[in-house]
Structure 1
Amino acid sequence: MRIHRFVSSLLLALLLTGSSVYGKVMPVEFDLGRNRLIAAMLRSQLSSQHFGHKPFDEQMSKEAYKLYLRQLDPKKQFLLASDVEQLDQFADKIDDEISNGRISLPDVGMKLLNKRVEKVAVLIKEIMDAGFFPYKKDYLQTDSDKLAASADRAELKDRWRRSLKMEVLDSYLDAVDKENKKREKEGKPLLDAESKQINQEFWAEAKKTVQKKTDAYLERLLKVARQEHYNRYFDAVARSFDPHTNYMAPTSKEDFDIHMSGSLEGIGALLREDDGHIKVVRVIPGSAAEAQGQLQAEDVIMSVSEKDGEPVDISSMSIREAVSYIRGPKGTEVRLTVTRADGARLVIPIVRDVVKLEETYVKSTVIKDEKGGKIGYVKIPSFYRDFSAGRLGRDGRNVTDDTRSELNKLKKEGINGIILDLRNNGGGSLSDAVDVSGLFLSEGPMVQVKNSQGVIRVLEDKDRDVVYDGPMIVLINQFAASASEIFAAAMQDYGRALVVGGAHTHGKGTVQALLDMNRNLPLLHLKKYDDLGALKVTIQKFYRVNGSSTQYKGVVPDVVLPSMLDYLETGEQYMDNSLPWDTVEEVAHPFWHGSRFDLERVQEQSRNYVAKSKRFQKIKEESLKAKKRKEETEVPVFLAGVIKERKELEEARKEAREAGVLADEEDEDDPEKDGEKTLDEKLAHDLYVDLAVFLMENSKPMELAADTKK
């Protein structure tokens, strides 16, 4: 397809090379003049380059301060109310600090935090020496948003006592479970975890484990350098503009790639730092994590260990530091202890491996409906393109050519319709989102791109040829983002396809560019300081051809289906300072004149199908239970209560697996077992694909005359 190519040169440099400026391996030493220069450049670049042209004022200060304070003590485990009151004096003065170069907040915050960490170390020794009574009824509030800073030493000590007691109980019960699995294999009597006689050996070992882990955690916090506190302060200022705008401190090229793509060698996951936690954004297609099957988007990784090693708490770690524990030689096993949004906690064993490239490419197969008719299925994991191929004088894989190839193969099979699956597709190449759309449409505008100056460019498909013109259903979910949303929106706006899935897509309708802060320096400062880092800044916004932005709201499907993800608060609308949804003028686009579904009819058919489906009803039931667990953030901290919660969670998972709404891989204990399945095997129990096939079989698409939307 021939389209009007438009990619920002800065963005193109980012996509092609990542960056060429990050070659230093040694950390940057603290230099006050250097940090003043960074502050000045942040103010200049954010004000002039950011899409929203947000002013540096008191409102920006308050938003940046909120982010700064949250990252300083995310669990409210250290700072007292008096400390927060002292820091609150800076809440509306960050704009002044940045403007005049007299920066104080990161130093004041560091000193207060370090003082409290040292005092907490004393508290913890007192608590651990006194011990815990496992049967005494205690409760712990796990949602820090529902907590205020502790009023005094006594309240802080009690907060830590409950937290440490919970960790000891968890460690103790894990040890009992491990021992019982061993005894079960050997045919020996099992230990009774609910016995009123605690196993003193396991209890003592649990206390020792928690003490060691906590000591290491406190020691790590005290080692955070002054420059790192400044880096986090600058990043809070950047993130006050929107969640995708970041200050990126200098680091090695390898660490830069991790920060930009989040790609972790060894397991294959995209991660981000989120209020003191390491959170999974998505699992990479073809990765070890995908093959194992348990790791999910929105999981929070709490600790990491080797197969037989001690878990390392990665709370409050940077992504770089966390990665150093997650990585390892191919073929070795890493164990991730994660918590789910609904409070479920599990240990996920993953055998480290490289990403299998073939699994990242477009795939297709033929599904037969109940009448023997053939339905084509196409899975697009991402909108990939090998940007380096042209520069290196070789052919590279891209999603457009691969999708065209799969469509031609399916057409030879005599298919009656296409199901195109974009679930969990995090996006990719903008030009390919337009090109792939053009495989199903006969020319026309596909997306509008607006820059920070308000100039709108319309990206069009100018090729009248259509590769496939039959009935089409597009599957989406909450983790379909960016380029996926552009494609799904175009299919919906043209009436080309029926869009089916969860409540909405992710809602990322923005474009970021990397600004090298070492360029365009004032002559006075040229080459005076070490690497200043970079600024990743939002510069553009996407709009559908109907004028509506994909930002914030995402794409709402024509047919909304229940999902196990419904209880998750995921997407732009749940992120701090995300850019709002808005509209621009609609561009003329011809409605699809070929096969189209009768929307009212398929919506009614879908409602009836879901109502009669035991599996969909089970999904609704389990999602409501998960939502309730998520909202019940005060958890029991006594032996019987913890055991009861564990049993309820395991019973819920068991029921979900038996109902076919949780994949078998969810319960795999043996990571060495081959968890990879063929595409046909994966689809055999996919109830969303089943519903799409049902609609293809039972809905007769309409043939409409061409019409142009004005």
Structure 2
Amino acid sequence: MKKSFWVAMLASIISVASCSFTTKRDFDDPDKDRILIDLISYVLNKGHYDAKAINDEFSKNVFKDFIKNIDPLKRYFYESDIKEFKKYETLIDDQIRDKEIIFFDLVYNRLKDRIADANRLYKTILEKPFNFELKEKINREFDELSYVKNDDQLIDRWRKDLKFNSLSYYYDKVEEQIDSLAKNKDYKRKSAVVLQEEARDITLSSMKDYFELLDDLERKDWFSVYINAIVEEFDPHTYYFAPQDKDRFDIAMSGKLEGIGARLQKKDDNVKIVEIISGGPAWRGKQLEVGDLIMKVRQDKEEEPVSLIGMRLDDAVSLIKGPKGTKVNLTVKKVDGTFENIQLVRDIVELEETYAKSSVVKKDSKAYGIINLPKFYFNMKDYNQRNAAKDVKQEIVRLKEQNIEGLIMDLRDNGGGSLQTVVDIAGLFIEKGPIVQVKSKGESPEVLRDKDSSILWDGPLVILVNELSASASEILAAAMQDYKRAIIIGSRQTYGKGTVQNVMDLNRWMRSNDFGDLGALKLTTQKFYRVNGGSTQLEGVKSDVVVPDRYSYINIGEKDQDNPLPWDKINPANYVLWNGNIDFEKTIKNSKKRMVDNAQLRLIDENAMWVKRKRDVNEYSLNYQEYKANIEENEKQAKIFDKINDYVTNLNFESLPYEEELMQKDEVLKDKRERWHESLSKDVYVEEAVHVLEDMKINSKPKAKNSFTLKN
């Protein structure tokens, strides 16, 4: 990519920063927080792709988000506190400019006092038994809750919250006792009083752990929350990494991931799974999915679980992670609202499973190919080493040797990666031409092109996507759609992330620094556009053939994040449509008709609607019988959809010859491929992709076989 305006602008920022942001020359007060907030606001204003005006409206949003982030359950602050804080609601922007942190200090000091009060309060509440026969409810839609007006309301809020947690543990205790009695006639039954006391003890222990973690937090930890309330107003991908967070980010980017193989995010007071890492224990176990909430963690040798509700993400992660080979037990609230206890054996994520892999798909007497690409990987130090484009190219050559008649590129759950690999992969399917447009702040768009006129695969092509296909995945799908080179099958639209971020070390902008490590800032610096001129931001890529899936009706994409950058359009690039002589309209029409007639897809759609209804429920009974009945009803309804997993296609899957040889010596690889093939044989989306390839072949004129051969 050419040297852009961004590079020149960055150099000027560094130059200015090295002169201005010192600890001795320009600021009488050498306070680290003031230096940090001044530096970050300067960098955001100069470097962010679409920098927002820091004004009164900006100030109101920071105010709202910061208060929500530090008291998401509204169980610390009083209505009077919020009224006092509101004096600064439109002054935060002025304080940023004046390098003042009066608002933060006020809220931080008040929060410490309120946490100290709550630390005493919960112990008193848990000393007395709860009445689980009383019919009352708790509202967990915290945005709808008002702040308490007095001590009595605060006590009642904490009482309901602690009762809800204890009711969950009590239900578990009762169910465990029922199982024990069924398995062991000599098991000594415990009374309801004893079981409830044990449940309250678990809640008490969890709350002690929770407040101990809060006690460990320092001012700098809370100030990082404040900084991020500011920077995240620019867009959801701009983020401040405190020094310890930056270290963890660097480790993650290095590719070494240990634990259960899932990326976690704090959502209100819950720990949410936002990504399942290919090759990890969670991925291999197939029990966890994106959107699940991890409620409790129990180590294999511990008797009682630890609640993660309200816990810092770092501390939750430390409980979930552990040495390779050890077991961890998770209580998970599934996407559909049901609860499951899941045991995983911790392991190191197998990077080999993040690479492209392929299989031959046999239907009747015909062969097709499928390539699964979990991400667009590359070697950050040397692009010429192993990368996604090279591997995909090699797999296509191997598949062509098996005389395939069509190709499926599976980009489902692919969150993106290297832009250059996208360009190189797209070039395998078209003659030379533009693939994507990239726009930096203040610049004309730069068009990234495939410059190689050769075509490796000129046959029918289908690309599978879903709501979790993001960034680089969307660019490849969009380019193939714009060229009319492939038919896109999947969700109504992909994730909708059309922006690029850079991580910048803040320390290098300080000429002299007496404060130690200042951390790093990840900020949005560029935006992607399709060759037709439309952005992939927010709108993503709309599938040619829409098929329902588990996420069809829930909020999971970029458009559902806070403060996303808008969709817009620029001039299209000059490109020539693919001349493959395929009747796209007829092929898509045939596919849509099959979708309507497919009972499996109707069941998946019904399941998706049920998931949506369950996720919209935020009021829960605190009466044991009603609580139990609700769980049983959820489990009963969930079982209706179990037969989704019973579906089997008439497709057969075979590994390529080179893998067959490897599997004769590698039982682990053999097991992995057998599991993958079993999953594919139940995959209704792959089945429809094959149908589409058949139609594309019927509707297209035969072309000469490409004579391209792979050169090492």
Provide TM-score, normalisation by structure 2: 0.87
Structure 2 residue identity aligned to 1:467: L
Contact kept, 8 Å, 1:61 with 1:91, in 2: the verdict is yes
**Pair 1:418–1:189, CA change in 2 (3 A):** farther
Alpha carbons of 1:253 and 1:506: their partners in 2 closer, same or farther (altered >3 Å)? closer
Partners of 1:504 and 1:555 within 8 A in 2:
yes
CA distance in 2, matches of 1:184, 1:10: 73
- Residue 280 (structure 2) aligns with: 287
Question: For residues 617-628 of structure 1, what are the structure 2 equivalents within 5 Å?
Answer: 617-628=602-613
1:34 maps to: 32
One-letter amino acid of the counterpart of residue 215, structure 1:
K
The residue aligned with 1:532 is 518
Q: Distance in 2 between matches of 1:477 and 1:204?
A: 46
AA of the residue aligned to 2:346: R
What is aligned with 2:482? Answer: 493
Distance 1:481 1:42 in 2: 28
| Contact 1:330-1:352 within 8 A present in 2 as well | yes
Q: What letter matches 2:637 in structure 1? A: A
CA distance in 2, matches of 1:139, 1:11: 56
Task: Pick closer, same or farther for the CA change 1:258–1:315 going to 2, 3 Å.
Answer: farther
Instruction: Give the deviation of 1:544 after TM superposition.
Output: 0.4
1:194 equivalent in structure 2: none
What's the C-alpha RMSD, in Å, of the aligned pairs? 2.8
Instruction: Report if aligned partners of 2:356, 2:388 keep a CA contact under 8 Å in 1.
Output: yes
TM-aligned CA deviation for residue 185 of structure 1? 4.3
How has the CA–CA distance of structure 1 residues 635 and 483 changed in structure 2, closer, same or farther, with 3 Å as cutoff?
same
Distance 1:473 1:410, change over 3 A: same
Is residue 411 from structure 1 mapped to residue 408 from structure 2 by the alignment? no
- Separation in structure 2 between the aligned mates of residue 9 and residue 299 of structure 1, nearest angstrom: 40
Is 1:426 the equivalent of 2:415?
yes
- Paired residues of 1:389 and 1:396 also in contact (CA < 8 A): yes
8 Å contact 1:5–1:431 — kept in the other structure?
no
Contact 1:81 1:149 in 2 (8 A): yes
Change (3 A) 1:258 1:90: farther
Contact 1:117 1:222 in 2 (8 A): no
Structure 2 letter corresponding to 1:694: H
Question: For 1:436 and 1:5, how far apart are their aligned partners in 2?
Answer: 23
Q: Does 1:387 align with 2:368?
A: no
Q: Which residue of 562, 585, 597 maps to 1:576?
A: 562
Report the Cα distance in structure 2 between the residues aligned to 1:339 and 1:675, rounded to whole angstroms: 28
- Which of the numbers 123, 146, 149 marks the counterpart of 1:148? 146
Distance 2:224 2:646 in 1: 44
| Alignment partner, residue 244 of structure 2 | 251
Aligned residue for 2:127, secondary structure, equals helix
Deviation at residue 296 of structure 1 after TM alignment: 1.3
Choose from 575, 590, 605 the match for 1:605. 590
1:670-709 aligned at under 5 Å gives the runs 677-699=674-696, 700-702=698-700
Q: CA deviation at 1:253?
A: 6.4
Q: Which residue pairs with 1:456 in the alignment?
A: 445
The whole-number CA distance in structure 2 between the counterparts of 1:117 and 1:494 is 58
CA gap of 1:611–1:121, structure 2 versus 1, over 3 A, is same
| Bigger mean CA offset, 265-274 vs 201-210 | 265-274
Maintained 8 Å contact 1:291/1:676:
no
Deviation (angstroms), 1:157 = 2.0
Amino acid at match of 1:388: K
For 1:106 and 1:32, the matched residues in 2 are separated by 17
Contact 2:259 2:348 survives alignment (8 Å):
yes
1:108 partner SS = helix
Post-superposition shift, 1:59? 1.8
The residue number in structure 1 matching 2:543 is 557
Q: Deviations over 1:206-229 (max 9, x none)?
A: 111011111221232233211211
Is 2:285 the partner of 1:299?
Answer: no
Distance (Å, rounded) in 2 between the aligned partners of 1:84 and 1:630: 29
Secondary structure of the corresponding residue to residue 660 of structure 1: helix
Q: Of the candidates 95, 108, 111, which is equivalent to residue 109 of structure 2?
A: 111
Alpha carbons of structure 1 residues 323 and 264: separation in structure 2 relative to 1, 3 Å: farther
Question: 1:539 & 1:511 partners in 2: Cα distance?
Answer: 6
Say whether the 8 Å CA contact 1:470–1:595 is kept in structure 2. Answer: no
- Cα displacement (A) at 1:10: 11
Q: CA deviation at 1:616?
A: 1.1
Pairing of 1:266-415 with structure 2 (within 5 A):
266-309=259-302, 310-369=304-363, 371-389=364-382, 396-415=385-404
Matched with 2:654 is none
SS of the residue 1:42 aligns to: helix
Match of 2:491 among 502, 506, 514: 502
Unaligned stretches of 5+ residues in structure 1 = 13-30, 192-196, 664-673, 706-710
Count matched residues. Answer: 661
Q: Hey, what's the Cα distance between the residues in 2 that align with 1:247 and 1:549?
A: 26
1:614 counterpart residue number: 599
Please say which of residues 489-498 and 336-345 is displaced more in the overlay: 336-345
* Percent of aligned pairs sharing the same letter: 36
| 1:22 paired residue number | none
Measured at CA, do residues 676 and 417 of structure 1 come closer, stay the same or move farther in structure 2, by a change above 3 Å?
closer
User: CA offsets per residue over residues 549-605 of structure 1, 9 Å max, x none?
Assistant: 111111111111111111320111011111011111111111011153423x33433
2:90 is the alignment partner of 1:75: no
Q: Aligned to 1:585, which of 546, 549, 571?
A: 571
Corresponding residue for residue 653 of structure 1: 638
Other-structure match for 1:20: none
Aligned letter for 2:211? L
Shift of the 303–675 alpha-carbon distance from structure 1 to 2, 3 Å rule, reads: farther
| Matched residue type, 2:590 | Q
TM score, norm. by length of structure 1: 0.88
**d(CA) in 2 for partners of 1:48 and 1:241?**
12
